[in-house]
Amino acid sequence: MLASLLAGLGLGFSLIVAIGAQNLFVLRQGMRREHLVAVVAVCAASDAVLIVVGVSGIGLALQAIPWLLMVVRWAGAAFLTAYALLAARRALRPSGETLRVDAATSTPVPDAAGTAVRTRTTLAATVATCLALTWLNPHVYLDTVFLLGSVASTHGEGRWAFALGACLASLVWFTALGFGARSLGRRLDTPRAWRILDALIAVVMLAIAVSLVLPH
C-alpha cells in the first residue's frame, strides 16, 4: 500500500507541476493575497474529484463519449482566449496599481506615494474563474482522469492508496504554490512586476487555447 501511495504521489506531482492555466491563476491570486484559501481549496478538491472519477473506472466510460471532450475543448479554448485578452489588456494598459495590504486588518491601502489600490475581485467571481480554468481544460481530463486512472488500475487493490497519494500531491502543490507566491508578492509588489506577470499569463493562456483547437 505504501508503494502505491508513493507512486501516486510521484505521478501526481509530475502531472501537476507543469506551468498551466490553473497554476498561473493560483500564482496570481497568491501574489494578490486575495481569496487564496478558497482558491487552493477549489483546486485541490476539484483534482480529488477527478482523481476519484479516474480511479473508479468512470473515466473509461467517459472515453466512449468523444463529443463530450470536444465540447469541453472548444468551451475551454473560448474561455482561455477571453482570459488571455484580459491579462494582455492589463499588461498593455497598466493602471499603476499595487496591492499593499495593512498587516493588522488585511485590507489594501494606498502606499506613501498615493499609488492607487488594485480593485479586489469578489469571492464568487474568483471561485467561478478558478472552477472554469479547472473544469474547462481538457488536459485535466486527459491527465488526471484517463492517464492517472489507467496507471492506478495497474496497482490492483492498492489503487485507492495510489489515488490518495495523487490527492496529497495536489493539495501540497497548490498550498505551496499559493502561499509561496503570497510571500513572493510582498517583494514584487510593483506595477512593472504585475505587467510582466500579466503578460506571461496572456501568452500561456493563449498558447493553451490554440493548442486545444489545433488538430491532434
Per-residue model confidence as pLDDT tens digits over 121-143: 899 999 999 999 989 888 888 78
The residues spanned by each domain of the chain are 2-213
Please, which pLDDT band fits residue 113 given cuts at 50, 70 and 90? very low
Which residues are registered as beta bridge partners of 108? 101
Kindly state the cell numbers that stand for 144: 488526471
DSSP designation for 146: I
What pLDDT is recorded for position 173?
Answer: 94
Q: What is the pLDDT of residues 155-182, one digit of tens each?
A: 888 989 999 999 999 999 999 999 998 8
pTM score above 0.95: no
Question: Contact at 8 Å (CB) between 126 and 35?
Answer: yes
pLDDT tens sequence across 32-66: 889 999 999 999 999 999 999 888 877 666 666 66
Gap between the Cα atoms of 9 and 162, Å rounded: 7
Which of 200-203's residues contact partners 24+ apart within 8 Å by CB, and which partners? 200/24, 201/24, 201/28, 201/83, 201/84, 201/87, 202/84, 202/85, 202/87, 202/88, 202/91, 203/84
